[in-house]
Each structure stands twice: as C-alpha cells, then as structure tokens.
Amino acid sequence: MESIRKISSLAAGGLLLVCLAIVFPGFALGQGLPETVVAVIDFQKLERDALAAKNIRSQVEGYRSQYAAIISQEEEQLRQQEQELKRQRAILSPEAFAQRRREFEDSVARLQRQVQNRTRRLERSIETSLASVNKVLGPIIKDLSTEFGFTLVLDKRQVRYIDDRFDITPIVLQRLDERLPEVTVPPPEGE
C-alpha cells in the first residue's frame, strides 16, 4: 500500500513537470519568464480627486436636483388627488369610487415608472461620461508603463501592502487632469 502511494506521488509529480514544460516552454529551455515590474494605482483616489470626476459629479448633482424638483411636484399632485379621493368616498357610489381609486393607483404606478426611467437614463449618462475618462486613462497608463518600465498595474484595493515607490497614482492624476480637466455629461435621453 505504501509503495502504491509512492508510485502515485511520483507519477503525479512527473505529470506536473510535463504539464509545466508544455505550458511554460521557456522554463524547459532554461529561459524563464520576463521580469515583472509592478505599479499600483489608487483608482478610488482618481475617482474622488480627478478634475474630470469632480466635474462629472457636479453635473450629475444638477440633474438629480432637477429630477428631485420635478418628482416632488408630481408627488404633491398625487397627495392632493389622494386627499380629494378620500373626501369623495362618501359621495361616490362604490363602483365610481373603485374606478377613481384605480385611476389614482395607475397615476402612482406611472410616477414610479418615470422615476425608474429617469434613474436609468441618468445612469447611462454617467456611464458614458466615465467611459470617456477611461478612454483617456488607458493611454496615460500605457505611456507611463513605457516611460517607467512597469509590466503589471494593479488596483491599490487589490494589494494588501506595497511600497509607496510603486504607487503611480499622483502622476496618473496629474496627467489625467492635464489631458481631461472636464467632461460633459450628456443630458439623460428623453429630457
């Protein structure tokens, strides 16, 4: 039994070596992999501190304020309709009251759908704006990798510890601010 385990472990080890030689032929030839030079970027800091990100947030808040004002007016109208409906309950026949109640509930459902649609349209506008930031960010990172020779970029949130010398966030932030100080958030469709 002991010898069967030894043979099995030797076979597994041999199979592992063969697989490694197939997957990494450079190792088999003694070449090894190219050296990995790591850099990290604090993407949360970019999202918080970049001029373009601040500009996007400001515009989005403007749209949200507009939406809130419109929704507030519509909610007030619905409250008034509901109060009127309550007053008419004693006057109307049960069938007429039920009909008006359904109409009121339809109005409430319609407002809820409008809120959801406005939210989706705003989210699409935000995504479009962030995509334009990412289009500029990608080439900045690529240029820096050529300039400084790093071969791997990690999000700082994914790394438990790294020496600050590998953090390129400040220079990425500076170049992003130079190349893209502001972004126009497209008006949510359907406005």
The 10 Å Cβ neighbour count of residue 155 is 11
- Over residues 141-161, the pLDDT tens digits come to 999 999 999 999 999 999 899
Give Cα 13 to chain centroid, integer Å: 43
- Does residue 191 lie within any of the structural domains? no
Same domain, 110 and 150: yes
> Does 95 lie in the same domain as 173?
yes
In 10 A of CB 120, how many CB atoms?
13
Residue 99 shares a structural domain with residue 25? no
The answer as to whether 166 is a domain residue is: yes
Residue 186 lies in a domain: no
One-letter amino acid for residue 33 of the chain = L
81 with 164, same domain? yes
Total number of domains in the chain = 2
Using CA atoms, how far apart are residues 104 and 92, in angstroms rounded to an integer?
A: 15
Decide if pLDDT at 119 tops 60: yes
Asked if residue 163 is part of any domain, the answer here is yes
Instruction: Give yes or no for residue 6 having a pLDDT over 50.
Output: no
Model confidence, pTM: 0.71
Are 65 and 87 part of one and the same domain?
yes
Q: How confident is the model at residue 34 (pLDDT cuts 50, 70, 90)?
A: confident
pLDDT in tens, 40-98: 999 999 999 999 999 999 999 999 999 999 999 999 999 999 999 889 888 889 898 89
Q: Tell me what pLDDT residue 11 has.
A: 47
* 107 lies in some domain: yes
Examine the domain organization and report whether 42 and 67 are in the same domain: yes
DSSP tag of 154:
E
Domain residues for the domain of 18 are 1-33
